[in-house]
Amino acid sequence: MDTKIAITLEGLTCDGKQPVIQWQGEHKKHQQTLWQETTVEFEYDLEQGEHYIEFEFVNKTNQDTTADEDLAVVIKDITINGISDPKIMLASTYQPRYPEPWFSQQDPTPGNILHGHQYLGWNGVWRLEYTVPTFTWLHKTLGLGWRY
């Protein structure tokens, strides 16, 4: 089934350094530097069933957060087959790799898997799982009522 997904991302800089992500989805594997707000589009003819899109934020160090700047990735929008809704973001997960010693000093420690996060401030993997046909998945995810 024809599936079109667009993800709009913004890279936040620190001392002129740009965030780098590596797409690791089922059908798209490449590295990308986020120089400005950009929309990455996926168009596939997918079989019915479960699928995912995933990227990893890979180049942040402890020095990439200052009092004024933070190297980060912001997910601004997700559109599936022309439908954009903030509830789509809630279906995503973010598995950050927290830096030490920061992580050990937190009480309580933050979760290992975060749901619906748009601000990716640590290296880690962001993932959106969905099913095809996407109209059924969207109907359920957006809480549109009865399904057929």
* pLDDT at position 24: 83
DSSP 14: B
Band of the pLDDT at 79, cuts 50, 70, 90?
very high
The C-alpha atoms of residue 89 and residue 128 are separated, in whole angstroms, by 8
* Surface-to-core class of residue 133, CB atoms within 10 Å of its CB (0-12 exposed, 13-18 middle, 19+ buried): middle
- Tokens 């798209």 sit on residue: 28
Rounded distance between C-alpha atoms, residue 21 and residue 35, angstroms? 11
Contacts of 83 (CB under 8 A, 6+ apart): 138, 142
Stretch 57-61: mean pLDDT, rounded? 97
Q: Set out the domains of the chain in order of their start, with CATH numbers.
A: 2-141 (2.60.60.40)
pLDDT at 128: 96
With residue 47 as reference, give the H or E element that holds it.
none
The reported pTM is: 0.92
* Residue appearing with tokens 């992580």: 103
pLDDT given at position 146 = 66
**Once rounded to an integer, what is the mean pLDDT over residues 126-148?**
87
CA 7/CA 84 separation, integer angstroms: 10
Spatial contact of 126 and 93, defined as CB atoms under 8 Å apart: yes
What is the average pLDDT across 92-97?
Answer: 97
pLDDT digits (tens, 9 = 90+) for 3-54: 999 999 999 999 999 999 999 866 667 899 999 999 999 898 999 999 999 9
Q: What is the pLDDT of residue 148?
A: 53
What is the distance between the alpha carbons of residues 18 and 83, in angstroms, rounded to a whole number?
29
pLDDT band at 132 (very low <50, low <70, confident <90, very high): very high
pLDDT in tens, 96-126: 999 999 899 999 999 999 999 999 999 999 9
